[in-house]
Amino acid sequence: MQKKLFCFGLGYTARALISHVAGEDDWTIAGTCRSPDKRDKFARQGIECHLFDGSIPLRNIVDALSGVTHMLISTPPGESRGDPVLACHGNDLSRLTNLHWIGYLSTTGVYGDHDGGWVDDETPETPTSRRGELRLAAERDWLMLAESASLPVHLFRLGSIYGPGRGQQEGLKSGRTKKIVKPNQYFSRIHVEDIVQVLLASMAHPDPGQSYNVVDDLPAPPDQVIDYVCDLMSLPRLPDVDFETADLSPLMRSFYSESKRVRNDRIKSELGVKLKHPTYREGFAALVK
C-alpha cells in the first residue's frame, strides 16, 4: 500500500519521524510550516510543504490532503480558537476516507500537579496550568471529531523531549543552563528516538481513541540530571540556584509549578515498545558520546 504522511507542523519530533520513513519507497511526505524560507528548505529535501500558521485555512486543502493515509498533529493550541488544525480544517478532515492513523502530540501536563507522586495512563486528567487546560481541551476536541467522523485519532502525552541538538547538553555548551533546585521536583523525559519508536508502533497497530504516556522509566529532579550531564561532559557542576529566588520566565516558572512522576506502562504492554534509552542516563550518555 502506498502511504502518505502529512504533518501539521514540521517541528523537531515530526522531522525525526520523517527521517525514519522518508527513505522508504512506499512513503511520501508532506506537511506545514510557518515561513516561506522553511518551506523552500523542506522542498529542497523533497518534502511537499505548505504554509500554515493556524490563523487562516490552508489554500487548496483538498489537493494538499489528497492521498493522505497517516497524519501527525504537533501544532499547539491557542487561547482563542483552541486547536488550530481543527479550527481551520475540522470539516475537511471529517470528509477524508483513506486515513488509517492520526497522532496528536500532547503533553503530560494534562495530569497537572501531583506533588511528586506517580501518575499512569489511567490517571484522571486534572490540569493545573493554563497550557495543560488548553492541551486537554484540544485532546477532547480531537476525540469528539474522531467519534463523530470515525477518524482513527491517537493521543501521545509526551514528557520533556531531548535528543540530538536539543537538551541539557546543548544548554551547557551555550552557557544558558541554570541548575534550579526545588525540593520534591520531578520531571519525566523522553528521547526523540523513543518517541519515533512509539509513533511507528502505533501506526503498525492502531487503536483509535487510545492515549499513551510517552516517557522513559526514570523521572528525576532536574538538578540531578544537570549534574549527570556536566559529569559526562567533564564540566564543573553548576552552582545551585534556589527556585524561589531564581530569575525565570513565566513559562519556565509554570513548568516548575507541577511535579509528578509518570509511568509508561501502555507503550510497553500494548505497543510492545522496548525503549532505546530507558533512562536519561543512557540517553545523554549516547548524545555526549
**Model confidence at 1: pLDDT above 80:** no
pLDDT of residue 19: 94
Residue 127 and residue 190: Cα distance in Å, rounded?
Answer: 20
**Model confidence at 25: pLDDT above 90:** no
pLDDT of residue 169: 96
**Model confidence at 184: pLDDT above 90:** yes
Are 213 and 122 contacting, i.e. CB atoms less than 8 angstroms apart? Answer: no
pLDDT of residue 236: 97
Are 27 and 5 contacting, i.e. CB atoms less than 8 angstroms apart? Answer: yes
Domain residue spans of the chain: 3-160+191-214, 161-188+217-261+276-288
Distances 153 to 80, 255, 281 between C-alpha atoms, Å: 23, 27, 33
Per-residue pLDDT of 219-269, as tens digits, reads 999 999 999 999 999 999 999 999 999 999 998 999 999 999 999 999 999
Per-residue pLDDT of 37-82, as tens digits, reads 999 999 998 899 999 999 999 988 999 999 999 999 999 998 888 9
Task: Give me the mean pLDDT over the 77-88 stretch.
Answer: 91
Task: Give me the mean pLDDT over the 110-114 stretch.
Answer: 98
Q: Within 10 Å of residue 257's Cβ, how many Cβ atoms?
A: 12
Please indicate, yes or no, whether the overall pTM of this predicted structure exceeds 0.85: yes
Alpha helices (H) along 161-191: 168-174
What mean pLDDT value characterizes the chain?
Answer: 95
User: Which residue type does 231 have?
Assistant: D
**Model confidence at 23: pLDDT above 80:** no
Question: In DSSP terms, which residues pair with 103 in a beta bridge?
Answer: 72, 154
H or E element at residue 51: strand 48-51
Q: Which CATH number fits domain 3-160+191-214: 3.40.50.970, 1.20.1440.230, 3.40.47.10, 3.40.50.720?
A: 3.40.50.720
